[in-house]
Amino acid sequence: MSAGDGSKVRWAVIGTGNICSDFCAALKLVDNAETVAVAARELPKAQAFAKRFGIGKAYGSYDELARDRSLAVDVCYVGLINTKHKDVVCELLRNGRNVVCEKPLGMTVEEVKEMVKVARDNKSFLTEGFWTRHFPAFKKIDEIVSEGTIGRVSAIHCDFGFLAAQDSRTRLKELGGGAIYDIGCYTVQYATHLLGTPAKSWRPLSIAAAGVMDPVEQVDLNGGISMTFDDKSDPSARLRTLAVLHFGTDGRRSQTARILGDKGHVEVHRIMHCPTHVTCVLYTDGGSVRDDHTFELPAWRPGEGGIPEDFRFFFANSEGLAYEAERVGQCVKEGLLEMPECPLDESIAIAQIMQTAREQMGGQQMGE
Ligand SMILES: NC(=O)C1=CN([C@@H]2O[C@H](COP(=O)(O)OP(=O)(O)OC[C@H]3O[C@@H](n4cnc5c(N)ncnc54)[C@H](OP(=O)(O)O)[C@@H]3O)[C@@H](O)[C@H]2O)C=CC1
Ligand SMILES: O=C1OC[C@@H](O)[C@H](O)[C@H]1O
């Protein structure tokens, strides 16, 4: 089902939690989008959400929405806890729905591969909701790096974290908790995007991870991953690049990223997963700073959209979800089955990196 005719892109929202609320508000900023349905585990919850956002149809189960043949919808947004992504997304895809699913796409490589297979078998659109990719500031980083402005990139550093409450879903195993799932995935996607290549299936050459685990929940609270990649700018394939990624839910962090080149570096200011400020620093031949310029690129285009003034987003820069929604709408209208800038094979690589890192974080022991 796709709207290839200039009509509005009809969205359904699966879930009524915090990110679903932010996403629905952000959809109000998008010119050619409308939200036509919402589903929750309980009907009253879906009805209350529908009333709040002026949504026409409410469902008391996710599957009911997926299977309702009378519901004409172009794309479904899944904003559920991580452990629910796979089953709900597959049911939507099997019913011919196009889907954007919040990160992380699945809990394991196996889950992600199954989701991708179901999408491909059913010729439905699927993408992992890495909204970072659609921010103008992230596109600026891409431009600086790909045009060679900072020269040969040798490494990237990321540091993303915040202090989560003990009972937050991000720290509870049953709800798909773990810092790597919640925010580590953003740092991993910086690495695969900037250092990985389609030719190498976005895979690193080596990976080493260490983590501080919650002794009761057995989820990571504070973790680090180091990875090496082939240097894509080196035709002799002898040079390597390095990613050093840090993430945590047990304390405040800088929430920044840095891309290091031999002619300069890029600083991504907080918050690196929804960036608005990027500084490009260029060196002289002697290695001192010759230029230092900060690009300010807003979380949404100023003055656009119809969000009531008293509306409060749960998360910082959530209006930027509108960029993702806008781009998904374009893809669906064009009849694409995946998003070129977030390919599904890259999502599989990201899941593979995260799974390897989780195994290492949980199982590490120092020898005598
Ligand atoms: N892009 C971004 O910036 C962000 C992305 N996220 C992602 O969004 C997803 C949801 O996060 P968030 O909105 O913060 O979480 P919330 O706790 O606010 O919402 C949880 C959602 O999961 C659903 N759910 C289904 N089963 C359960 C269950 N057993 N217990 C609790 N909830 C359940 C709830 O459904 P129902 O409505 O039916 O009750 C609700 O929609 C995660 O995958 C997270 O990674 C989160 C924050 C920001
Ligand atoms: O995607 C996210 O970004 C912001 C965090 O606060 C949140 O926990 C996470 O899911």
- Nearest Cα neighbor of 194 from 100, 298, 254, 278 is 278
Angle between helices 321-333 and 18-27 (to 10 degrees): 70
Inside any domain, residue 288: yes
170 lines ligand 2 (CB under 6 A): yes
Residues 6+ apart with CB under 8 A from 148: 263
Inside any domain, residue 327: no
pLDDT digits (tens, 9 = 90+) for 104-153: 999 999 999 999 999 999 999 999 999 999 999 999 999 999 999 999 99
Q: b/e per residue, 262-287, with b = 16+ CB within 10 A?
A: ebbbbbbbbbbbbbbbbebbbbeeee
Instruction: State which ligand 2 atom lies nearest to the alpha carbon of 164.
Output: 8
40 lines ligand 1 (CB under 6 A): yes
Q: What is the pLDDT of residue 90?
A: 98
Which of 20, 313, 315 has the most ligand 2 atoms within 8 A of CB, as the residue to mutate? Answer: 315
Instruction: State which ligand 1 atom lies nearest to the alpha carbon of 274.
Output: 3
4 — pLDDT class (breaks 50, 70, 90) = very low
pLDDT digits (tens, 9 = 90+) for 236-269: 889 999 999 999 999 999 999 999 999 999 999 9
Q: Are 229 and 153 in contact (CB under 8 A)?
A: no
pLDDT digits (tens, 9 = 90+) for 316-352: 999 999 999 999 999 999 999 999 999 999 999 999 9
Residue nearest to atom 41 of ligand 1 (CA): 15
pLDDT at 3 over 70: no
180 lines ligand 2 (CB under 6 A): no
pLDDT at 173 over 90: yes
pLDDT digits (tens, 9 = 90+) for 272-305: 999 999 999 999 999 999 999 999 999 998 776 6
**How close is the Cα of 69 to the center of ligand 2, in Å?**
33
What's the domain range around 158? 133-297+343-361
Residue 197: CATH number of its domain: 3.30.360.10
Residue nearest to atom 7 of ligand 2 (CA): 182
Q: What is the pLDDT of residue 62?
A: 98
Q: From residue 36, how far is each of 50, 95, 265, 351 by CA, in Å? A: 9, 17, 45, 32
Inside any domain, residue 43: no
- Nearest Cα neighbor of 26 from 260, 354, 326, 358 is 326
Inside any domain, residue 81: no
Ligand nearest to the CA of 100: 1
Inside any domain, residue 3: no
Average pLDDT in the chain: 95
Which of 22, 81, 133, 170 has the most ligand 2 atoms within 8 A of CB, as the residue to mutate? Answer: 170
Q: What is the pLDDT of residue 1?
A: 42
233 — pLDDT class (breaks 50, 70, 90) = confident
Instruction: State which ligand 2 atom lies nearest to the alpha carbon of 19.
Output: 10
Q: What are phi and psi of 230, to 5 degrees?
A: -65, 140
Q: What is the pLDDT of residue 301?
A: 87
Inside any domain, residue 282: yes
Higher pLDDT, residue 311 or 43: 43
Inside any domain, residue 289: yes
Tokens found for residue 37: 């349905």
- Nearest Cα neighbor of 88 from 111, 56, 109 is 111
pLDDT at 307 over 90: no
Q: What are phi and psi of 223, to 5 degrees?
A: -140, 160
The count of structural domains within the chain is 1
pLDDT digits (tens, 9 = 90+) for 83-112: 999 999 999 999 999 999 999 999 999 999
**Look-up of token digits 């800088």:** 254
**How close is the Cα of 174 to the center of ligand 2, in Å?**
17
Per residue, the 3-state secondary structure of 74-89, as one string, reads CEEEECCCHHHHHHHH
What angle (nearest 5°) sits at the alpha carbon of residue 261, between those of residues 260 and 263? 135
**How close is the Cα of 112 to the center of ligand 2, in Å?**
20
- pLDDT (mean) for 164-180: 97
Q: b/e per residue, 211-226, with b = 16+ CB within 10 A?
A: bebbeebebbbbbbbb
Residue 183 gets which letter from DSSP? Answer: I
